[in-house]
C-alpha cells in the first residue's frame, strides 16, 4: 500500500467511525443535524490521521487508537464552529459551504459546538480494548491541549492580537497554543493507545511541534495568495481584520523558507526510526498543500 493509499484508508476509517457515533445520537431538535453538518463536512482529518499514524509508528493496534482519533476531531470541529461565530472571526464560509451559524443560527451553532466538545470525552472514556490508566491519560492529554492552557488560551490571545506592533515571538506563542497543542495531542494520543512512552513519544512530540508551526505558517500563506475555490473560503480575511500573521511579519518568501526548514526539522526528528516513512511523507505533503 502506498502512503497516499494509507492516507485514504485511514480517512475512510475515521469518517465511518464518526458517522456511526452521530447516527447513534437521539435527534433532539436539530442539534444532531447541526453537529453532523460540520463534523461530516469533509476536511483533511490531519489530527486524527496523526493519531492513527503515531499508534502505528509505536507498534500499536490502530483500532485501539480510533476512538481517540475521533474524539480529537470532535474537539477540532467544535473549535471551528465557535471560531466562525460573529463574536469571534465572523466567517460566512467553511470548506466551501456556509458556516454552521449561517445555516442553523447562532444559538444552535453554540450548542452544537458544546455537544461536540463534551461528546469528545465520552468517546475517549469509552474507547474499547484499553486499560483504565490509558483512558485517564488520554482524557488528561486532550483536556490539557484543548483547555485554558492550550487551544482556548491561543484563541483568546488571537482575538486581541490585532495590534500591528505584535512580534514574531508573540504570534508564535499564539499559534503554538491555538493550533500546535492539538497537533501535539494527536501524536501523544497515538502513543497512549499503543501504550508507549519514552523516546518515541518525545521524538513524536517534537515532530508535532515543528509540524504544527509549519502547518499554521502554510495556512497564513494560503490566506494571502491561495485559491478561494480550492480553499473553500475567502482569502485575505486576516488582512481585512487587521490581524498580524507570519506573513505580515516575515513576508511570503520568508514564510515559505520557514515552512521548508520546519518540515525538514520535523522529519529529522523521527527519520531514524524504521516506521517513520508515512509520517515523514505526510509532513512533506502538508508543506506543499494548496488547501
Banded model confidence at residue 248, pLDDT cuts 50, 70, 90: confident
- Domain locations in the chain as residue ranges: 3-287
Q: What is the pLDDT of residue 263?
A: 97
> Are 152 and 104 in contact, with CB atoms under 8 Å apart?
no
List CB contacts of 135: < 8 A, sequence separation 6 or more. Answer: 124, 125, 127
Q: For residue 93, give the DSSP letter.
A: E
**Residue 227's pLDDT band (cuts 50, 70, 90):** low
- DSSP character string of 171-227: HHHHHIIIIIHHHHHHHHHHHHHHT--HHHHHHHHHHHHHHHHHHHHHHHHHHHH--
pLDDT digits (tens, 9 = 90+) for 49-78: 999 999 999 999 999 999 999 999 999 999
Average pLDDT, the chain: 92
pTM of the model: 0.93
Predicted local confidence at residue 166, as pLDDT: 79
Average pLDDT (172-200) is 96
Start-to-end CA distance of the chain, whole Å, equals 25
Question: CA nearest 195: which of 131, 241, 125?
Answer: 131
Residue-wise pLDDT tens digits, 86-137:
998 889 998 889 999 999 999 999 999 999 999 999 999 999 999 999 999 9
Q: How confident is the model at residue 164 (pLDDT cuts 50, 70, 90)?
A: low
Whether 229 shows a pLDDT value over 80: the answer reads no
| pLDDT value for 235 | 55
Q: Does pLDDT of 244 surpass 90?
A: no
Torsion angle (degrees, nearest 10) of CA 148, 154, 146, 53: -150
pLDDT of 162 over the 70 cut:
no
Domain 3-287 has CATH 1.10.645.10: no
Of residues 245 and 141, the one with the higher pLDDT is: 141
Residue 122: CB atoms within 10 Å: 12
- pLDDT of 34 > 80? The answer is yes
Amino acid at each position: 500500500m502506498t502512503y497516499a493509499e494509507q492516507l485514504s484508508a485511514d480517512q475512510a476509517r475515521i469518517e465511518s467511525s464518526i458517522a456511526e457515533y452521530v447516527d447513534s445520537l437521539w435527534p433532539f431538535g436539530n442539534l444532531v443535524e447541526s453537529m453532523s453538518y460540520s463534523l461530516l463536512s469533509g476536511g483533511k482529518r490531519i489530527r486524527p490521521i496523526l493519531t492513527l499514524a503515531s499508534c502505528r509508528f509505536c507498534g500499536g493496534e490502530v483500532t485501539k487508537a480510533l476512538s481517540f482519533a475521533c474524539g480529537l476531531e470532535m474537539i477540532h470541529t467544535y473549535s471551528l464552529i465557535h471560531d466562525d461565530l460573529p463574536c469571534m472571526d465572523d466567517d460566512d464560509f467553511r470548506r466551501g459551504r456556509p458556516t454552521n451559524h449561517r445555516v442553523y443560527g447562532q444559538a444552535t451553532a453554540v450548542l452544537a459546538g458544546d455537544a461536540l466538545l463534551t461528546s469528545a470525552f465520552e468517546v475517549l472514556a469509552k474507547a474499547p480494548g484499553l486499560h483504565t490508566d490509558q483512558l485517564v491519560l488520554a482524557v488528561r492529554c486532550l483536556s490539557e491541549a484543548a483547555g485554558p492552557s492550550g487551544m482556548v488560551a491561543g484563541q483568546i490571545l488571537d482575538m486581541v492580537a490585532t495590534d500591528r506592533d505584535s512580534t514574531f515571538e508573540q504570534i508564535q506563542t499564539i499559534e503554538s497554543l491555538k493550533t500546535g497543542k492539538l497537533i501535539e495531542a494527536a501524536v501523544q494520543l497515538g502513543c497512549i493507545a499503543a501504550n508507549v512512552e519514552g523516546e518515541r513519544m518525545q521524538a513524536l512530540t517534537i515532530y508535532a511541534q515543528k509540524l504544527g508551526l509549519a502547518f499554521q505558517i502554510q495556512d497564513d500563506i494560503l490566506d494571502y495568495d491561495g485559491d478561494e475555490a480550492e480553499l473553500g473560503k475567502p482569502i485575505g480575511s486576516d488582512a481585512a481584520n487587521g490581524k498580524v500573521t507570519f506573513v505580515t511579519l516575515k513576508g511570503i518568501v520568508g514564510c515559505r523558507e520557514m515552512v521548508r526548514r520546519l518540515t525538514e526539522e520535523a522529519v529529522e526528528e523521527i527519520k531514524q526510526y524504521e516506521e517513520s516513512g508515512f509520517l515523514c511523507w505526510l509532513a512533506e505533503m502538508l508543506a506543499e498543500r494548496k488547501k
